[in-house]
């Protein structure tokens, strides 16, 4: 059975190799507080751009947000004269808040995420008892991507791939020869994303990763996080399909699905929840917006006791 979305992404990647105008420029901003890599990808010909996985700074002790990380993206976009068409989220992150709504005000772009965000909204809407005014239909976003959707960033061709496992809604965005793969694979020396959040599934993650690894070997992969594997002194967020297939410590070629699932499940049971999971999920399931203010005008973030 042919995998039509992968075939389309492969054709697009091979075309970008023959035609340098189809190769996007990528600039990455790394947030050491949450180990998140935000990427600005643009078409060198038209200057059309997309921001992938932005970060809103949040101080958990005081409950205060600030825009220092996002401001760096704004300054870069303005200095390069980019026209932002998209604010893309690979998934509803559990370890940092999205700055997409603020960035939309500053530099524009439609907010896009995977269509299965509605499943994430269902699960977390219940966990946080978000009430009937919290719409669980993805309407907080401007566009919901499905597997195989084709879109353009200026003249650059792009394909969306559904890569569930870390969450049910994870997407990879293949833009020219560059794939923004969110929380699936990490650097080869670090491995893979966890799959134990509500709605996560290690077996599904393995299958999504193996599917991504059928893309051409030279495909540039841009990751959402890096935690510096033991022995490495620099953060890194870019690798290739070939390097992952040869060296990924969890899923290099030859690793069997059952072995991955048991390794991933065992490892996940030892991990504590991310520091910012409570605010992150409640804000990111709302497309980066704060919960509706209470009658005193203040937004509150809830903590469910003995639930997660
Ligand atoms: Fe994540």
Q: How far is the CA of 20 from the centre of ligand 1 (A)?
A: 31
Neighbouring C-beta atoms of residue 301, cutoff 10 Å: 16
CATH of domain 4-285: 3.60.15.10
Alpha helices in the chain (DSSP H): 4-18, 68-80, 100-107, 117-127, 202-212, 241-247, 257-268, 277-284
Q: How far is the CA of 92 from the centre of ligand 1 (A)?
A: 7
Structural element, H or E, at residue 41 = strand 36-42
Distance CA 157, CA 259 (A): 36
pTM tops 0.95, yes or no = yes
Instruction: Note down pLDDT in tens along the chain; length 308 residues.
Output: 789 999 999 999 999 999 999 999 999 999 999 999 999 999 999 999 999 999 999 999 999 999 999 999 999 999 999 999 999 999 999 999 999 999 999 999 999 999 999 999 999 999 999 998 899 999 999 999 999 999 999 999 999 999 999 999 999 999 999 999 999 999 999 999 999 999 999 999 999 999 999 999 999 999 999 999 999 999 999 999 999 999 999 999 999 999 999 999 999 999 999 999 999 999 999 999 999 999 999 999 999 999 88
Q: What are the residue ranges spanned by the domains of the chain?
A: 4-285
- Indicate the angle between helix axes 257-268 and 202-212, nearest 10 degrees: 130
Strand-strand pairing, 110-114 and 83-88 = parallel
Q: How far is the CA of 295 from the centre of ligand 1 (A)?
A: 32
Question: What does residue 225 show for φ and ψ, rounded to 5 degrees?
Answer: -145, 155
Q: How far is the CA of 167 from the centre of ligand 1 (A)?
A: 8
Q: How far is the CA of 16 from the centre of ligand 1 (A)?
A: 28
- Contact assessment for residue 87 and residue 140, using Cβ atoms and an 8 Å cutoff: no
Distance CA 235, CA 218 (A): 21
- Contact assessment for residue 103 and residue 142, using Cβ atoms and an 8 Å cutoff: no
Cα distances from 149 to residues 49, 145, 157, 231, in angstroms, run: 18, 6, 11, 40
Cross-strand partners of 240:
220
Q: How far is the CA of 2 from the centre of ligand 1 (A)?
A: 29
The count of C-alpha atoms lying within 13 angstroms of the C-alpha of 78, restricted to the half-sphere facing its C-beta, is 9
Question: Whose structure tokens read 């903590």?
Answer: 303
Q: How far is the CA of 19 from the centre of ligand 1 (A)?
A: 33
Three-class DSSP labels, 211-245: HHCCCCCCCEEECCECCCCCCCCCCCCEEEHHHHH
Q: How far is the CA of 49 from the centre of ligand 1 (A)?
A: 23
């Amino acid at each position: 059975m042919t995998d039509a979305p992968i075939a389309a992404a492969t054709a697009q990647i091979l075309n970008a190799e023959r035609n340098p105008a189809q190769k996007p420029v990528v600039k990455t901003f790394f947030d050491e507080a949450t180990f998140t890599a935000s990427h600005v990808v643009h078409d060198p010909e038209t200057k059309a751009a997309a921001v992938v996985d932005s970060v809103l700074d949040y101080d958990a002790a005081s409950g205060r947000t600030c825009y220092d990380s996002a401001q760096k993206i704004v300054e870069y976009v303005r200095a390069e004269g980019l026209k932002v068409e998209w604010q893309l989220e690979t998934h509803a992150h559990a370890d940092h808040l999205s700055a997409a709504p603020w960035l939309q005000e500053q530099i524009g772009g439609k907010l896009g995420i995977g269509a299965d965000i509605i499943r994430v909204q269902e699960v977390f809407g219940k966990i946080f008892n978000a009430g009937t005014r919290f719409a669980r239909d993805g309407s907080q976003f401007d566009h919901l991507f499905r597997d195989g959707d084709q879109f353009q960033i200026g003249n650059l061709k792009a394909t969306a791939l559904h890569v569930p496992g870390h969450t049910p809604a994870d997407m990879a965005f293949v833009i020219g020869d560059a794939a923004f793969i969110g929380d699936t694979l990490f650097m080869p020396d670090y491995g893979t994303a966890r799959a134990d959040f509500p709605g996560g599934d290690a077996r599904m993650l393995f299958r999504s990763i193996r599917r991504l690894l059928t893309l051409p070997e030279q495909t540039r992969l841009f990751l959402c996080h890096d935690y510096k594997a033991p022995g490495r002194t620099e953060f890194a967020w870019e690798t290739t399909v070939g390097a992952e297939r040869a060296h990924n410590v969890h899923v290099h070629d030859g690793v069997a699905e059952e072995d991955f699932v048991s390794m991933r499940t065992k490892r996940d049971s030892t991990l504590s929840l991310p520091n910012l999971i409570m605010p992150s999920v409640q804000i990111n399931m709302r497309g980066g917006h704060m919960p509706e203010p209470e009658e005193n005008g203040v937004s509150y973030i809830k903590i469910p006791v003995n639930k997660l």
